[in-house]
Amino acid sequence: MGEEKSYLAWMLDVLKRSVELGGFPEEVYHILSKPERVLAVSIPVRMDNGKLVVFEGYRVQHSSALGPYKGGVRFHPEVDLETDIALALGMTLKNSLSGLPYGGGKGAVKVDPTKLSPGELERVSRGYVRAIAPLIDDELDIPAPDVGTNPQIMIWMIDEYSKIRGRNVPGVFTGKPPELWGDPVRPYSTGYGVAVVAREIANRFLGGLEGLRVAIHGFGNVGSNAARFLSKFGAKIVAVSDLPGTLYNPNGLDVEKMIQLVQRAGGVKGLMEYSEPGTSKTASTEDALYADVDILVPASIENVININNAHKVKAKIIVEGANGPTTADAEKILYEKGTIIIPDILANAGGVIVSYLEWVENLQWFWWGEEETLKRLENIMINNVKRLLASYDKYSSSRGVKTYRETAFILAVERLYRAMKLRGWI
Ligand code: GLU
């Protein structure tokens, strides 16, 4: 097994190279390589069995150059502060690239939410908010869902925060349920955006999406909605992997049926009840990564495509639904093979773009409805893809840029550089 750099270390390598390739002053790297502020908290929670457990949590405020800190909260047993810093840096770049008036941040609690009762989950969520409340607000730092959190958790958090402030503050968290202050597009916006990006990239490189074979790694919110819309746009979802195993059907899996099974079982274990003819099942959690497909959507977690397995990936195009799924070493291997990788900070920006729209709605106690939001989301995503492709053509011929990730980083850093210069930071 090859040893590889951590997620943060390889993100910083790409950032450094992009600052150099983009011709920005070194000071830009010095500022962006460190978070502005890091908060570490302890969350004591009384469990159902009467025992007290103290959970560890963080909120990383990476950059405020472009506006309030913005980024999700992750509930995951393996998260640590270093990973959270890498994720927060990713948010700064993602928000900049999409032209949002936001800096970047990310929060986390080291906990496995699938092992908690609903009551315990609520107490962890409220406890986390009490711990970070002094440093968040609707124009200061605006968290949202990420891996392991959802709209219900956002509402518990807002409810707790509103009690602390003594008034309703709907804009301090985004990704709320549509029934209470949430935008109706937000629950599926990340997956929808991934599908739009895949469609635009397939149009450019593979003559359209119709009939193309797609594999999805991770069937949570992002993966399942990406699968749903990719199949609506005419692609064939042939492989899906998640924790209980892999489903494979060369003629295409029925996405709506898989989503129903997962909903009915209350988790991805429901996938294994899928029994349409022609489908094979394996216990592997990663077979979808190696399926013979045109497009692969890694939509689970960071570092899943790495130095040890990149050579097994057959997809022509990778559209990153998760944050950081392809390590820098893996990207080198795939670049040599000619694989096109559309980086997370562009491909999965649909979530935070609709978070922004929801936040604008909340600040005005107003909303413009599903159709209008969807149109705005789609326009921003399509423009982002066009800008990425045009800039890649320009930079790869004139500046020695190799990957779409470097191109996306340069575009993101450019806007941050201008903001920091205007503010007099550099
Ligand atoms: N957690 C999502 C991300 O990584 C969304 C963040 C947000 O909506 O603020 O992009």
The residue behind tokens 């007099």 is 424
Tell if the pTM clears 0.95, that is, is over it.
Answer: yes
Is 34 catalytic? The answer is no
Confidence band for 8, pLDDT divided at 50, 70 and 90 = very high
Looking at the CA of residue 186, tell me the nearest atom of ligand 1: 8
Count CB neighbours of 278 within 10 A. Answer: 10
363 vs 283: CA distance, rounded Å: 47
Q: Which whole-number Å values give the CA distances from 161 to 45, 106, 172, in the listed order? A: 17, 17, 8
pLDDT per position as a tens digit, 46-94: 999 999 999 999 999 999 999 999 999 999 999 999 999 999 999 999 9
Instruction: Provide, rounded to the nearest whole percent, the portion of the chain with pLDDT above 90.
Output: 98
Q: Which of 60, 95, 352, 384 to mutate to test the pocket of ligand 1 (most atoms within 8 A of CB)?
A: 352
Label residue 33 exposed, middle or buried (CB < 10 Å: 0-12, 13-18, 19+).
middle
Counting ligand 1 atoms within 8 A of each CB, the residue from 76, 355, 381 with the most, and so the one to mutate, is 355
Q: Decide if 214 contacts 227 (C-beta within 8 A).
A: yes
pLDDT tens-digit readout, 240-289: 999 999 999 999 999 999 999 999 999 999 999 999 999 999 999 999 99
Residues in the ligand 1 pocket, defined by CB under 6 Å:
70-72, 94, 144, 146, 174-175, 323, 348, 351-352, 355
* The pairing of beta strand 317-319 with beta strand 236-242: unpaired
Ligand 1 atom closest to the CA of 145, numbered from 1? 1
Q: Return the residue whose CA atom lies nearest to atom 9 of ligand 1.
A: 71
Asked whether the beta carbons of 398 and 20 are under 8 A apart, the reply is no
Q: How far is the CA of 60 from the centre of ligand 1 (A)?
A: 14
Residue whose Cα lies nearest atom 8 of ligand 1: it is 352
Q: Are 70 and 104 in contact (CB under 8 A)?
A: yes
pLDDT above 70 covers a percentage of the chain that reads 100
What confidence score (pLDDT) does residue 399 get? 87
Q: What is the pLDDT of residues 95-124, one digit of tens each?
A: 999 999 999 999 999 999 999 999 999 999
pLDDT for 189 beyond 60: yes
The Å distance, Cα 88 to ligand 1 centre, comes to 10
Q: Which of 94, 106, 236, 316 is catalytic?
A: 106
Q: Which atom of ligand 1 is nearest to the CA of 102?
A: 9
CA 51 / ligand 1 centre spacing (Å): 33
Is 41:109 a contact under the CB 8 Å cutoff? Answer: no
Nearest ligand 1 atom to alpha carbon 90: 4
| HEC readout, the chain | CCCCCCHHHHHHHHHHHHHHHCCCCHHHHHHHCCCCEEEEEEEEEECCCCCEEEEEEEEEEEECCCCCEECCEEEECCCCHHHHHHHHHHHHHHHHHCCCCCCEEEEEEECCHHHCCHHHHHHHHHHHHHHHHHHCECCCEECCECCCCCHHHHHHHHHHHHHHHCCCCHHHCCCCCCCCCCCCCHHHHHHHHHHHHHHHHHHHHCCCCCCCEEEEECCCHHHHHHHHHHHHCCCEEEEEEECCEEEECCCCCCHHHHHHHHHHHCCHHHHHHCCCCCCEEECCCCHHHHCCCCEEEECCCCCCECCCCHHHCCCCEEECCCCCCECHHHHHHHHHHCCEEECHHHHCCHHHHHHHHHHHHHHHCCCCCHHHHHHHHHHHHHHHHHHHHHHHHHHHHHCCCCCHHHHHHHHHHHHHHHHHHHHCCC
For 160, other C-beta atoms within 10 Å of its C-beta total 18
Query: From the CA of 415, how far away is ligand 1's center (Å)?
Result: 19
| Minimum-distance ligand 1 atom for the alpha carbon of 175 | 8
Q: How far apart are CA 311 and CA 406, in angstroms?
A: 21
Q: What is the pLDDT of residues 327-386, one digit of tens each?
A: 999 999 999 999 999 999 999 999 999 999 999 999 999 988 999 999 999 999 999 999
Report the mean per-residue pLDDT for the chain. 97
**Ligand 1 midpoint to CA 196 (Å):** 17
Give residue 275 CA to ligand 1 midpoint distance, Å: 34
